[in-house]
A and B are shown apart, each in its own frame.
Chain A
């Protein structure tokens, strides 16, 4: 039955990591949606032979091109990814090489298309290499956070009882911190390094992921297919990993994209606060920080890395929005 108007779009998308208390209604619709049609894998059989009851719904990823928003987002992400991958072979100056001659006129020139920074380093090169840094750290951190958070969420949602109480309470404690405050005291005490930033992101993000997965598992656990698995005497681990986890995919894909964008913000913010990767590693947030003092004279030094980070985050957010809209639209 065609429903009235268009379904709320982006309700799953509107949940930035770390701010999960408002997630419940969005989560519910995401779950309902997920159960209606888990849309992220393709049917690999012979569709022509199957007697369809409804319209064939190709997988979410295959339908991606039909969302303009998602394609724009993907384009932005790919732009930076390609540059990051090709950074070592591109005809650009090394990111830390200083061109003292250019320091007098740091604006754009034939040698330095986007100019140089306060130390005479090529802006274009540092932007590309900075993108490389973010695109390595952010996905790594989010993937590890997902591994930890999904495991905790599965355990809490599946076993309930005291396991759930312990895990949920621990998550509450971490989620009660204002995020930036948590990052600042953590990094300031354990020291800024790539590993520590990844650790901090995992600590701060895993509870939010655990909460989402727990909610999904709780709503899935009542379904008959779980009882059917128990009636085959499957092990708990099997039920969690094979029966439950694959069905969390839909809402989690959107959350994953959002979280990538959010982690990019985090890494940039840490860099800006002087808690990012230690110099001279090119890092967008750090580049902005070093250039703010010069903003009245040479605004480009601060603005270019700002535009770079905004474009990448926008890419992740648009992709997430497009994905959730696609998931809700059929």
Chain B
């Protein structure tokens, strides 16, 4: 329990530092901040005015503190000040917990933009996860169970090939086959039925693309962990006790072989967040990843900061979960 608390504090610190890093990258140049907030057509005088009003000449750390203050609802969002005539209106008010600010790209409060897209992405990633985990576990275990066997070689080779195809390439290749060649599936996934394709059919390709790379990687991890365990002396002990192969695998090998991949599997969540950026781009999927990319290309500071913070939060939470699970699985560290 004390461990868990310590770990949570550590991860919170990591989260803070990481969000500071994002803040540094996006708001390092204060002139840029004012310019980006006002858009490309604003007059220099307007930019200068905003620069002064927002105290953008303050040190970076002070400005980061202010951003944290707005986020936690301690101070009011200065951009919503009517005196600025920015017309940044948020029905939730200018001071509340979770105030991510105003998106200049979508011309709406970040909280109006963010959550729907995050939901769409959660659907995509969740489905991919549901494919990756059973597939890679079964393949990895079967291959690692008898290292060097024919099945092992097939699985190993297949997983190397799978991890050699970047998501954008598999997206294009699969689209060329199933959309252009066979016409079985839609090439875009806007998640509405205007095109005549069902939502389910729109999900097939994005989920496949996301799952392919990861399943290959996780299967490889599971396989090598399983093979390593199978060579352990305690497996020999189990066999030479007279147990049958099935019992040896199920009771003695599996749990030990799952300890290392468990962490890896949970960390795939982190990986999927990256993967969705590309996949959503390929299939014009209205998700979080594409939103982040668009925000970055546009220079929508508040949205970038909000999105990366969410991504980091997810990443750090899964890390905490994987630590926990590791301790549950492994009696040696309990």
Contact = CB atoms under 8 A, between A and B. Distances in A.
Q: Do chains A and B touch in the complex (CB under 8 A)?
A: yes
B277 interface: yes
Contacts of B316: 176
Interface in B121-158: 144, 146-148, 156
A330 interface: no
B207 interface: no
A178 B271 contact: yes
Contacts of A299: 176, 180
A178 B169 contact: no
A14 B322 CA distance: 19
A77 B169 CA distance: 19
Contacts of B267: 19, 21-22
Interface residues of B, number: 72
Give the bracket for the number of chain A residues in contact with chain B. 35 or more
Contacts of B108: none
Interface SS of chain A: helix
Contacts of B144: 8
A313 interface: yes
Contacts of B173: 303, 306
Nearest to A305: B169
B274 A272 contact: no
Interface in A147-191: 169, 172-174, 176-181, 184-186, 188-190
A92 B196 CA distance: 45
A179 B164 CA distance: 17
Contacts of A22: 221, 260-261, 263-264, 267
Given A22-B263, A309-B166, A178 B273 contact: yes
Given A8-B144, A9-B224, A181-B311, A176 B18 contact: yes
B308 interface: yes
Given A180-B277, A185-B26, A269-B278, A288 B168 contact: yes
Interface string B1-36: 000000000000111011001100110100000000
A3 interface: yes
A285 interface: yes
Interface in A12-65: 13-14, 16, 19, 21-22, 24-26, 29
B172 A288 contact: yes
Interface string B21-62: 110011010000000000000000000000000000000000
A11 B293 contact: no
14 contacts: A6-B147, A8-B225, A9-B224, A14-B223, A14-B224, A177-B311, A181-B292, A181-B307, A272-B168, A273-B293, A292-B172, A295-B172, A313-B166, A321-B160
Interface of B: 13-15, 17-18, 21-22, 25-26, 28, 144, 146-148, 156, 160-161, 163-169, 172-173, 175-176, 179-180, 187, 217, 220-221, 223-225, 227-228, 230-231, 236, 259-261, 263-264, 267, 270-271, 273-275, 277-278, 281-282, 289, 292-293, 296-297, 299, 304, 307-308, 311-312, 315-316, 319, 322
Interface of A: 3-11, 13-14, 16, 19, 21-22, 24-26, 29, 169, 172-174, 176-181, 184-186, 188-190, 261, 265, 268-269, 272-275, 285, 288-289, 292, 295-296, 299, 302-303, 306, 309-310, 313-314, 317-318, 321
